[in-house]
Amino acid sequence: MAGSAGRAAAAALLIQKQAALAAEGLSRYPQRADFSAEEAAQIKAHLGPWPRALEAAGLKPPRDDGFAARQKEKRIVSKRRRTAAKIAAKEKEKESSL
């Protein structure tokens, strides 16, 4: 239960700071520098990296769903290139030894 209370408190800090910024006429997301070191640490501990924390608090739209798929595809392509290079090196070594 303490975990969900901590998440709620961290999200409340972000939401309150967003409201304060809006009252000042600023249209930006809360930044780490807007909080004390202890508050920023609490937010990051309960909500994760800063962009994910802003998403968890509902201040920022979630990042693109296709991000994970693109990253996975990049890893696959990279692995295939490395494997092909290893195979080519072995074949070249085999030919030179003959």
Q: What are the tens digits of pLDDT across the range 26-59?
A: 999 999 999 999 999 999 999 999 999 999 999 9
pLDDT band at 5 (very low <50, low <70, confident <90, very high): confident
Average pLDDT, stretch 87-92? 94
Tokens of 54: 């802003």
- CA-closest candidate to residue 42, choices 1, 16, 8, 17: 8
Domain housing 45: 1-63
Number of domains in the chain: 2
Whether 15 and 53 map to the same domain: the answer is yes
Residues 6 and 51 in one domain: yes
Residues 9 and 47 in one domain: yes
Domain co-membership, 76 together with 35 = no
Q: How confident is the model at residue 2 (pLDDT cuts 50, 70, 90)?
A: low
CA 85/CA 17 separation, integer angstroms: 52
Residues 6+ apart with CB under 8 A from 45: 6, 10
CA angle at 45 for the pair 72 and 2, rounded to the nearest 5°: 120
- Domain check: are 13 and 48 in the same one? yes
> Does residue 93 share a domain with residue 80?
yes
